[in-house]
Amino acid sequence: MADRLVCRDCHRVQGADIESQCEACGGTSLTEDWAGYVVIAHPEESDIAKEMEVNKPGQYALKVR
């Protein structure tokens, strides 16, 4: 998934064509240096989403450097 960027603020995974701002939180700190991948479909029912403080469905990185 080298063609993906991740927001350092909310860990949301997004396409590399979005280079200036996170689609989810509006953060401007994006990186290609991340590991682990989780898809959260129902954050209100997910223990992982609660632990990661995610409240929107989507694709998220588990570790962002």
**Residue 1: pLDDT over 60:** no
Q: Is residue 22 packed enough to be buried (19+ CB in 10 Å), middle (13-18) or exposed (0-12)? A: buried
Indicate whether 63 pLDDT > 60: yes
pLDDT computed for residue 38 by the predictor: 97
> What's the topology of domain 4-64?
Rubrerythrin, domain 2 (2.20.28)
Contact (CB, 8 A) for 43 and 55: yes
pLDDT for the residue numbered 37 = 94
pTM of the model as a whole: 0.87
**pLDDT of 34-52, one tens digit each?**
999 999 999 999 999 999 9
pLDDT confidence tier of residue 19, bands split at 50, 70 and 90 = low
